[in-house]
Amino acid sequence: MFKFNSRKGNRHTDAPRAEKASRPASRARGNAAAAGKVRFGWAEKMDWGRIRIKMVVVVFCLLWAGLWGRAWYLQMIEGPRLAERARRQHMASELVTGRRGMIFDRNGQVLARSIEARSVYARPQEIEDFQVMANTLGPILGIEPQKLYDDLANTKRRFVWIKRKVDDFTADAVHKTNIAGIGLSKEYDRVYPFKHMAGQVLGFVGMDDKGLEGIERSMEARLGCIPTRQIVQRDAMGRRFYLHEEGQSEPRGQDLTLTIDVQMQFIVEEAVARAVKEYDARWGGAIVVDVPSGEIMAWAQYPFFNPNTYKDTSPLVYRNRMAADALEPGSTFKPFVIATAIQEKKINAATAIDCEGGRWQAKNFTIRDTSRQGVLPASKVLRYSSNIGMAKIGLMIGVPTFHKYLKALGFGQRTSVPVADSRGILRIPRDWSEVDIMSTSFGQSISVTGLQMAQAYLTLLNNGLYKPLTLTREENNVAEVHQRVFSQSTAREVMRMMRDVVEENDGTGKRARVGGIEVAGKTGTAQKADHRAGTYGSKRLASFVGFFPADKPKYLILVMVDEPTRNQYGGVVAAPVFKEIASRTLTFTGAITTDTKAATVEKGPAAAPTSGRKRGLKLASLDVPYATDTKKETAPAQNEGMRLPGHLAKAGSRVPDVMGKSVRNAVELFARAGVVPELKGSGSRVVKQTPAPGSVWPEEENKVEYILWLSER
C-alpha cells in the first residue's frame, strides 16, 4: 500500500514540475521568433523583381561599355596595324595581261583567236581530306589519284596549279565537286581554227599566254597588249573578284591582219607537201609575193605544224626554216651577179665568156659545169647556169663592189618582216680571197635565208628599186623612199635573161612553164656542206625562183626543197612546184592570160592537160573559214579521178558531188576542173550545189553559174 501510494504520489508531484520546466523553453522560442521578425522584416519589404531587372541592365551596360572599349581599342590603337594586314591578305596589286589580240588573213579570216578557259588550282592548307580529294579529282582531270595526293599532301606551298586550261565539261565537273581548297581560275587559251595552215609563220603561245614562236612571239608587244598593274580584291578563299573600278578595265591586245591569203596558202601548202613526199625530201617551203605591193601572199612549209598541239611537236618541225635557216643558195644567186656586172658596165648581154668546155682549173681551185660549153654570150651563161662563166664575171666585178651590191640587196642582214630571221653569212671584204669571190658568184661561200632571197628578187623585179617585204597590213603605212640598187634598164635586161631560162627549149627551167602566160625564173641546185668531213657532201638543196608575167611581174614565187633523194636538181624537183602554184594561182585569181591560150590547173610534172573549154573564173569572197580537217578521205572507186586534196588526180568529165563536204574540199574539187564556184550562205559545209552532181560540165560557160550554198551542220 505504501509503495503503491508512494508511486502514485510521486506521479502527482512530478507533473507540475515538468509543466514548469516547459514554460521557459516555449518562452525562449517565442522570444527568438519575435527577434527574427524584427531582424529580416526589411527584406520582406524589398521589390526583388525590380532589383533583378536593374542588375541585368547593369550587366548589359558593363558588357556594352566593354565592347565599345574594345572597339575603340581596335580602331584607335590596333586599327592601322590590322588594316594593313587585311589589305595584304585581300587586296593585291597584280600585273593583268588580259585577252590577246586576234590574227586575221588579208580577207578577214581568223587565223588565231583567244577564248576563255578555266584552270584548276589548289590551296593545300584548306583541303580537309587529301585522300577524298585525290580520289574525286583524279578521274575527272585524268591524273593518277596517288600522284595528286602526293603532290598536294606533301607540299608546303600555299598555291598549286593542278591543271591549266581545261575544257568546259571538265571545269563544270570540278566545280560540282565543291571540294574545299579546290578552285577554278579564268585564263585564256589560244586557238588556231585552220590548224596547220601557216603554222610555222603564226607560231604559238605558251601556257602563260606569251608568244614563244613565229608572229605570236615577234608581235608579242602588240598581240599580248601592254600589261597593266591593277588592284585586285580577293575573298577569304583567295578567289578574285572581277569587279572593275571606275576607269579600270581588263586590258586587251590589238588585233593583227596579215597579208597572207588562206586560199593561196592552201594551194602552196598542198604543192609543197606533194613535192616533199614525192622526192622523199627532208623539208620543203615556198613563198609567194605580190610584186606591186611587196606583200607576202603565202608562206608554206612542210612537214606541217599545228600550233594547237605544239606540245606534241618537235622544234625541228615548228622552226620556220625559210627565215631561220641560212643555206648556200646555189644558182638562184646568179642573176644578182649578172645584174651587178651589167650595172657596173663590166659586161652586157652579148659579152663573150669562155666557159672552158665545162672544166676550169684556176690555181688550186677547179670549177666544173654540168654541161660542156665553150664561148657563150653573157645571156646564155645565165640560161645554161654555167659556174665557170659566173666565176669569171665575179672576178671582173671585184670584191669591194660585189660586197656593196650584196649588202644593198639585203644579204647579211635581217629583213623588215616581223619574224625571227637569220642574218645569214656575208663576210666583210677583207676576208675574201680570189677563190671566195669566184665561188660566191655561183652561190657558194655565202649563206642566205629563203626570206632574204625573196627580198633581193623583189628589189630586182621592182625595176631595181629596193622595196621591203611586208607580212602585216597596217592602215597607217606610209610609203618610204628607198635606195635604187640597179637601174631600170639593168633590171629589165636580167629579167629578159631569166625569161629565156624558162621559155627557151635549152633553158634549165623549162619544167616551170605555164600554159597561156610567159614565165621567167632561175633554177638552183646547191651543194650542202658536210661539217664532219669539212667539205661538200652528196646532199643538195633544190630550189627555183620565178615570176609571172615575165614582162610585168605580178607574182614572185620562191620554192626550196631540202635534201631530196630521188632527184636532186632544182629544175626537176622545184620547178614543177612553181608550175603548180602559178597555174592554180591563175585559176583562183582569174589573172589575164594571152588570147591564144587558156590557163589550166596543173597537178605536177606528169599531169594530163585539162579540157580546152574555157570556164568562168568567178571568185566570191568567203564569209567563213574553210573547214580544217586534214584527214584523207577516200572517194568511191567509180570516181577515182576526183579524189580529195593531197592526191595526184585530174578532173573528171562530170560535176563532182560535194554535198556535205567542207568548203575547202569542195572548192578544190571544182578547181581541178578549172572552175572556182561562188559561195553563198554562212557555214563550213556544202548543203546545196549548182550544177547538180553527176551532170556533164556545161559547154557554154558564160551562161552557167557555179554556186555552192553553205551551212553549219
Q: How confident is the model at residue 159 (pLDDT cuts 50, 70, 90)?
A: confident
What pLDDT score was predicted for residue 79? 79
Q: Is the pLDDT of residue 170 over 80?
A: yes
Residue range 380-406: mean pLDDT, rounded: 93
CA dist., res. 136 & res. 63, Å (int): 48
Amino acid identity of residue 59, one-letter, is V
The pLDDT, as a whole number, for residue 348 is 93
Q: In percent, how much of the chain has pLDDT > 70?
A: 76
Instruction: With a cut of 80, say whether residue 27 has pLDDT above it.
Output: no
Q: Taking residues 468-496, what's their average pLDDT? A: 83
Angle of helix 434-441 versus helix 399-409 axis, rounded to 10: 40
Mean pLDDT, rounded, for 399-407: 95
Q: Is 573 helix (H, G, I), strand (E, B) or coil?
A: helix
Whether 389 shows a pLDDT value over 50: the answer reads yes
Q: How confident is the model at residue 625 (pLDDT cuts 50, 70, 90)?
A: very low
Active-site annotation holder among 114, 119, 218, 331: 331
What is the average pLDDT across 146-158? 86
Rounded mean pLDDT of 621-645?
35
Contact by Cβ (8 Å): 581, 557: yes
pLDDT at 40: 56
Q: Residue 121: left (phi > 0), alpha (psi -120 to 50), or beta?
A: beta
Which of the pair, 485 or 1, is modelled with greater confidence? Answer: 485
- Provide the 8-state DSSP code for 213: E
Tell me, what's the pLDDT at 571?
Answer: 92
Phi, then psi, of 25 in degrees rounded to 5: -65, -45
Task: Report pLDDT for 672.
Answer: 64
Q: If residue 162 lies in a helix (H) or strand (E), which one and from where to where?
A: strand 160-166
Burial of 381 (0-12, 13-18, 19+ CB in 10 A): buried
pLDDT digits (tens, 9 = 90+) for 273-319: 999 999 999 999 999 999 999 999 999 999 999 999 898 889 999 99
Q: Give the residue-averaged pLDDT of 606-634.
A: 36
pLDDT tens, position by position, 67-76: 888 888 888 8
Report CA 559 to chain centroid distance, whole Å: 23
Looking at residue 11, its pLDDT comes to 46
Residues 6+ apart with CB under 8 A from 36: none
629 confidence band (pLDDT: 50, 70, 90): very low
Q: What is the pLDDT of residue 339?
A: 96
- Give CA–CA dist 190/210, Å, rounded: 10
- How far the first Cα of the chain sits from its last, in Å, is 144
pLDDT of amino acid 676: 65
Q: What pLDDT band is residue 656 in, cutting at 50, 70 and 90?
A: confident
Please tell me the predicted confidence (pLDDT) of residue 24: 56
| pLDDT band of 617, cuts 50, 70, 90 | very low
Q: What is the 3-state secondary structure (H, E, C) of 95-138?
A: EECCECCCEECCCCCEEEEEEEEEEEEECHHHCCCHHHHHHHHH
Cα distances from 706 to residues 332, 437, 612, 642, 679, in angstroms, run 41, 57, 18, 17, 9
User: Per residue in 585-610, pLDDT tens?
Assistant: 988 876 544 433 333 333 333 333 33
Confidence of residue 345 (pLDDT cuts 50, 70, 90): very high
Provide the pLDDT confidence category of residue 240 given band limits of 50, 70 and 90. low
> What value, to the nearest 5°, has the Cα angle with vertex 576 and ends 572 and 577?
120
SS3 content of the chain, % helix, strand, coil (to 5): 40, 20, 40
Question: What amino acid occupies position 308?
Answer: N
Question: Pairing mode, if any, of strands 204-205 and 91-96?
Answer: unpaired
Q: Band the pLDDT of 263: cuts 50, 70, 90.
A: very high
pLDDT at 584 > cutoff 80: yes
- Split at pLDDT 50, 70, 90, the class of 247 is very low
Q: Decide if 297 contacts 510 (C-beta within 8 A).
A: no
Q: Is 8 helix (H, G, I), strand (E, B) or coil?
A: helix
**Is it the case that residue 670 has pLDDT exceeding 80?**
no
Q: Is 331 a catalytic residue?
A: yes
Alpha-carbon distance 498 to 512, whole Å? 12
pLDDT for 37? 54
pLDDT tens digits, one per residue of 357-378: 889 987 777 888 888 889 999 9
How does strand 678-681 pair with strand 707-711?
parallel
Instruction: Tell me if 598 sits within 8 A of 590, measured CB to CB.
Output: no
HEC secondary structure over 452-482: HHHHHHHHHHCCCECCCCECECCCCCCCCCC
The pLDDT of residue 691 is above 80? yes
User: What does DSSP say about strands 375-377 and 352-354: parallel, antiparallel, or unpaired?
Assistant: antiparallel
Q: Does residue 242 register a pLDDT over 70?
A: no
Q: Which residues pair with 205 in a beta bridge?
A: 211
Using DSSP bridges, classify how beta strands 520-530 and 211-213 pair: parallel, antiparallel or unpaired: unpaired
- Give the Cα separation of 455 and 673 in Å (integer): 34
Most confident of 9-13, 139-143, 331-335: 331-335
In whole angstroms, what is the distance from residue 616 CA to residue 338 CA? 41
Residue 109 has pLDDT above 70, yes or no: yes
Mean pLDDT of 5-23: 48
Per-residue pLDDT for 153 more than 60? Answer: yes
For residues 63-84, give the mean pLDDT.
85
What percentage of the chain carries pLDDT values higher than 90? 41
What is the chain's mean pLDDT, rounded? 80
Alpha-carbon span 73 to 63, nearest angstrom:
15
Q: CB atoms < 10 A from the CB of 625, how many?
A: 19
List all residues 6 or more positions away from 612 whose beta carbon is below 8 Å from its beta carbon: 598
Map out the domains of the chain with their CATH numbers.
94-256 (3.90.1310.10), 262-589 (3.40.710.10), 637-711 (3.30.10.20)
Rounded Cα distance between 461 and 552, Å, is 9
CA distance 682 to 711: 6
Q: What number is the average pLDDT over the span 651-656?
A: 75
Distance CA 553, CA 517 (A): 11
- Cell readout for 582 is 602559178
